[in-house]
Structure 1
Amino acid sequence: MTEVDERAGKRVGWVELYFDLVFVFAVGQVAHGIVADPHWARAAAALGLFATLWWTWIGFAVLYNRRGDDSRVADRLFVLAGTIPCGIAATQAHHVFEGHPAIFAAAMAGVRLILAAAHRWPRAGGDQRRIGWGYAVSAVLFGVSAVLPHYGFLWAFALVQEAGFLLLGDGRNRRRGERPTRAARWRLMLTPPRDPNLAVDSAHLAERFGLFMILLLGELVLTVGTAALERPADDLGYWLALAGGLVLAGALWWVYFSSAVEIYERMLGYSGGNPALAYSLYAGGHLMPAFALLLMAAGVNLSLHESPPHAAAWFTTAGLTIYLAGTRVFATGSRHWYFTLARVAALAATVNLALLDRVLPAPAVVLVIAGWAVGAAAVTAVIRQRTRARLGEDPVAFLRQVADRRRIEPEGGGRTEGGGRPEGSGGRTEGRGGRTEGGG
Structure 2
Amino acid sequence: MSTSDQSATEDRHASWLELFFDLVAVAGIGMLARLLVDDTSGGGISVYVIAYTAIWMIWACFTLYSNVAGQETHVSVILSAMFVLGVMAAAVPEIHDEHATGFAVAYVVGRFLAARPWQRSTVVTDLPIVQTGGGIVPWVVSFWFEGTVQYALWALGLAIDLWFIVSVNHDRLLASTQERLDRVRRSRRRSAERHEQLPETVEAVGADVPHLGERLGLFVIIVLGEGLVQITDAASEATWNRALALTGAGAFALMFALWAAAVRFGYAGAALVPDRGISARLSWPVHLVATLALATVAAVLGGLVADPHAHLDDRVRWILAAAYAGYAVLSAGVHLLRRDLRRAACVAVPMVVVAAVVAVATGLAAEGTVWLLAAGVLAALWAHARVERSFTSA
What TM-score, normalized to structure 1?
A: 0.68
Please say if residues 33 and 97 of structure 1, whose CA atoms lie closer than 8 Å, have aligned partners that are also in contact: no
Identity among equivalent pairs (%):
21
1:294-351 per-residue CA deviation (whole Å, 9 max, x = no partner) reads: 1112221222344552333333333222222222299577798x99899765454121
Which structure would you say has the larger RCO, counting Cα contacts within 8 Å and 6 or more residues apart?
Answer: 1
Matching of residue 317 in structure 1 with residue 315 in structure 2: no
Residue 266 of structure 1 aligns to a residue whose secondary structure is coil
Please say if residues 38 and 309 of structure 1, whose CA atoms lie closer than 8 Å, have aligned partners that are also in contact: no
Matching of residue 372 in structure 1 with residue 376 in structure 2: yes
- When residues 256 and 343 of structure 1 are mapped into structure 2, their CA distance, relative to the original with a 3 A threshold, is closer
Output the amino acid matched with 1:144.
V
For 1:388 and 1:127, locate their aligned partners in 2 and report how far apart those are by CA, in whole Å. Answer: 41
Q: Which of 247, 250, 254 is the equivalent residue of 1:244?
A: 250
Aligned length: 350
For 1:211 and 1:312, locate their aligned partners in 2 and report how far apart those are by CA, in whole Å. Answer: 27
Corresponding residue number in structure 1 for 2:239: 232
Please say if residues 92 and 104 of structure 1, whose CA atoms lie closer than 8 Å, have aligned partners that are also in contact: yes
Equivalent residue runs for 1:262-301 within 5 Å: 263=273, 265-267=275-277, 277-280=279-282, 282-301=283-302
- When residues 10 and 347 of structure 1 are mapped into structure 2, their CA distance, relative to the original with a 3 A threshold, is same
- When residues 365 and 143 of structure 1 are mapped into structure 2, their CA distance, relative to the original with a 3 A threshold, is same
- When residues 389 and 133 of structure 1 are mapped into structure 2, their CA distance, relative to the original with a 3 A threshold, is farther
Shift of the alpha carbon at 1:232? Answer: 1.4
- When residues 376 and 195 of structure 1 are mapped into structure 2, their CA distance, relative to the original with a 3 A threshold, is farther
Corresponding residue number in structure 1 for 2:171: 171
What TM-score, normalized to structure 2?
A: 0.75
For 2:261 and 2:8, locate their aligned partners in 1 and report how far apart those are by CA, in whole Å. Answer: 21
Corresponding residue number in structure 2 for 1:114: 113
More helix per residue: 2
Please say if residues 59 and 115 of structure 1, whose CA atoms lie closer than 8 Å, have aligned partners that are also in contact: yes
Equivalent residue runs for 1:14-413 within 5 Å: 14-69=16-71, 72=72, 75-98=74-97, 101-120=100-119, 125-127=121-123, 134-135=132-133, 141-149=138-146, 150-163=149-162, 168-172=168-172, 197-233=204-240, 235-261=241-267, 263=273, 265-267=275-277, 277-280=279-282, 282-306=283-307, 307=310, 309-328=313-332, 331=335, 346-354=350-358, 358-383=362-387
1:23-68 per-residue CA deviation (whole Å, 9 max, x = no partner) reads: 2211322221111123344223311221111111111121122224
Please say if residues 122 and 205 of structure 2, whose CA atoms lie closer than 8 Å, have aligned partners that are also in contact: no
Residue ranges of structure 1 left out of the alignment (5+ in a row): 176-193, 269-276, 391-440
For 1:51 and 1:385, locate their aligned partners in 2 and report how far apart those are by CA, in whole Å. Answer: 38
For 2:393 and 2:123, locate their aligned partners in 1 and report how far apart those are by CA, in whole Å. Answer: 37
- When residues 345 and 55 of structure 1 are mapped into structure 2, their CA distance, relative to the original with a 3 A threshold, is same
Please say if residues 314 and 351 of structure 1, whose CA atoms lie closer than 8 Å, have aligned partners that are also in contact: no
1:121-165 per-residue CA deviation (whole Å, 9 max, x = no partner) reads: xxx74436x976525x65554333222242344434433554577
Shift of the alpha carbon at 1:91? Answer: 1.3
- When residues 385 and 92 of structure 1 are mapped into structure 2, their CA distance, relative to the original with a 3 A threshold, is farther
1:48-98 per-residue CA deviation (whole Å, 9 max, x = no partner) reads: 2211111111111211222242xx4x6121011111121111111132245
Output the amino acid matched with 2:264.
S
Output the amino acid matched with 1:38.
T
For 2:325 and 2:386, locate their aligned partners in 1 and report how far apart those are by CA, in whole Å. Answer: 19
- When residues 196 and 49 of structure 1 are mapped into structure 2, their CA distance, relative to the original with a 3 A threshold, is same
Residue 105 of structure 1 aligns to a residue whose secondary structure is helix
For 1:379 and 1:369, locate their aligned partners in 2 and report how far apart those are by CA, in whole Å. Answer: 16
For 1:254 and 1:278, locate their aligned partners in 2 and report how far apart those are by CA, in whole Å. Answer: 22
- When residues 344 and 326 of structure 1 are mapped into structure 2, their CA distance, relative to the original with a 3 A threshold, is closer
Corresponding residue number in structure 2 for 1:181: none
Residue 200 of structure 1 aligns to a residue whose secondary structure is coil
- When residues 386 and 89 of structure 1 are mapped into structure 2, their CA distance, relative to the original with a 3 A threshold, is farther
RMSD between aligned residues = 3.7
User: Which deviates further from its counterpart, 355-364 or 243-252?
Assistant: 355-364
Corresponding residue number in structure 1 for 2:14: 12
Shift of the alpha carbon at 1:353? Answer: 2.7
1:91-133 per-residue CA deviation (whole Å, 9 max, x = no partner) reads: 111322458521100111121222122225xxx74436x9765
Residue ranges of structure 2 left out of the alignment (5+ in a row): 1-5, 176-200
- When residues 63 and 163 of structure 1 are mapped into structure 2, their CA distance, relative to the original with a 3 A threshold, is farther
Shift of the alpha carbon at 1:200? Answer: 1.7
- When residues 138 and 323 of structure 1 are mapped into structure 2, their CA distance, relative to the original with a 3 A threshold, is closer
